[in-house]
Amino acid sequence: MWSFGLVGLIKMRAKFIIPLLGVIVLNIQSLLGDAKEKGEALIRKSMTHFIDEAVISGSVTAVASDKKLLSLESCGYSNIASKKTMQDNDLFWIASMTKPMTAVCVMQLHEKGKLAITDLVEKYLPEFKNQWLIKSRNKGELTLKKPSRPITIKDLLTHTSGLQNLRPTRNDHTLSELTMAYSKTPLNFEPGSYWSYSNSGINTLGRIIEVVSGLSYAEYMQKKIFNPCGMSDSTFWPSEDQASRVASIYSIDEKKKLEELKEFPSFIKFLNGGLSNKSRTAYPAGGLFSTAEDVVAFYQMTLNGGSYKGNQILQKETLDMMTINQTGDLKAGFVEGSCWGLGFSIVQKPIGVTSTLTPGTFGHGGVYGTQSWADPKTKRIMVLMIQREGLKNSDGSEMRAAFQRAAAQTYGSD
């Protein structure tokens, strides 16, 4: 009888406890859902403020962990005149956010022993032999001298080569032609002695990739980065379907109103000639179009030790080397507290626009305000996609600061 009574008591309690547990679980799920909705609302509010103030036409923001997408929000318009609303899968010209992807390609070749980042550039591109350095400029006279050493691949990765930035003269240059021009232009400073942002340097890396791999730069990126990371909307030449999803670029006119740039994408002449025109140069320093989700996938790879869904793109040790200070005490980057790794900007001391990030956060921005950052401590990824010409400092923009604050409030900052 005692045994029967105990079993009966347990059954009776279970009859009431199990439904109660179900209610508790549902309440927790409801609370989590409410918190997520409130968080997404906070991120939307941070962006709609700038849309309402006519600072930007629209935006797509993404917050993710190393494992999953946490938030994907589109706001405003991709084109104001046609009232075309921004969509989550709209493409943006991500400009210099191309650079870290180019750097990963170089480091893949470094891992395989096909090159070493300490190698001289002239080992792969003989035209760089016997470069000159500007000693002084005085009343129209240019005095040259020999640099103390030739430039290395690491110099290119860290923007410390001294290569001058040259504007292309047409939109279909080969990388071979461009690097020939770079090699015959004197260096601005002694290699390794100074940090100066260099598109020419990253474009030169693209040419080295071609020479070492035997593939064109664009083919290599497709095969070694986009395909294994599932980045199906990342391209140098948007297809007809993708081109219909490319967000328009806006500047501020004399009346402080948003004005669409009819010549895409404005002063960067080398991108004109039709978005799908494959004769246009695939620029390693800034030619990519992409979506927020594709960029998230790239950074998830970096936070997962170089692996994405079973595809090993890069070894963790190599990524660790890319995302630590490689420029020493040199003043580097576009915002205070920054240093430079191999292809990545790194938050060394969070301050100002980076105050919600932790030391060691790495990423890159683009000239029209796009931003992509991965925080290895919190395992949080933040991607901001906007298209605004004329920002004084895209890495230090109010839009970036507001989005990162909202993301930190929603998903934590430590």
Q: pLDDT-derived band of residue 1, with 50, 70 and 90 as boundaries? A: very low
Q: How far apart are CA 261 and CA 41, in angstroms?
A: 30
pLDDT tens string 217-248? 999 999 999 999 999 999 999 999 999 999 99
What pLDDT does residue 35 have? 55
Q: How far apart are CA 239 and CA 275, in angstroms?
A: 8
Query: Which residue carries 């990963």 as its tokens?
Result: 104
pLDDT tens string 47-85? 999 999 999 999 999 999 999 999 999 999 999 999 999
Q: How far apart are CA 392 and CA 371, in angstroms?
A: 15
pLDDT tens string 149-203? 999 999 999 999 999 999 888 888 999 999 999 999 999 999 999 999 999 999 9
Question: Which region, left, alpha or beta, applies to residue 156 given φ > 0 means left and ψ of -120 to 50 means alpha?
Answer: alpha
Q: How far apart are CA 34 and CA 141, in angstroms?
A: 68
What pLDDT does residue 234 have? 98
Tokens of 383: 């991607």
Helix (H, G, I), strand (E, B) or coil at 163: coil
What pLDDT does residue 171 have? 83
- In this prediction, residues 344-354 reach a mean pLDDT of 97
Map out the domains of the chain with their CATH numbers. Answer: 43-96+230-408 (3.40.710.10), 105-213 (3.40.710.10)
pLDDT tens string 179-194? 999 999 999 999 999 9
What pLDDT does residue 25 have? 47
Q: How far apart are CA 336 and CA 266, in angstroms?
A: 29
Closest by CA to 196, choosing from 221, 162, 235, is: 162
- In this prediction, residues 12-16 reach a mean pLDDT of 59
Whole-Å CA distances, 383 to 189, 236, 337: 34, 19, 20
- In this prediction, residues 263-287 reach a mean pLDDT of 73
pLDDT tens string 374-410? 999 999 999 999 999 999 999 999 999 999 999 999 9
Helix (H, G, I), strand (E, B) or coil at 152: strand
Q: pLDDT-derived band of residue 11, with 50, 70 and 90 as boundaries? A: low
Whole-Å CA distances, 390 to 68, 256, 380, 393: 34, 12, 29, 9
- Estimate the crossing angle of helix 199-213 against helix 98-111, to 10 degrees: 40
Check whether 297 has a pLDDT greater than 70. yes
Mean pLDDT of the chain: 91
Residue 401, classified by CB atoms within 10 Å of its CB into exposed (0-12), middle (13-18) or buried (19+), is middle
Check whether 28 has a pLDDT greater than 80. no
Contact call for residues 362 and 374 (beta carbons, < 8 A)? yes
pLDDT tens string 311-332? 999 999 999 999 999 999 999 9
What pLDDT does residue 170 have? 83
What pLDDT does residue 139 have? 85
Q: What is the pTM of this model?
A: 0.90
Half-sphere exposure (CA, 13 Å, Cβ side) for 393?
Answer: 10
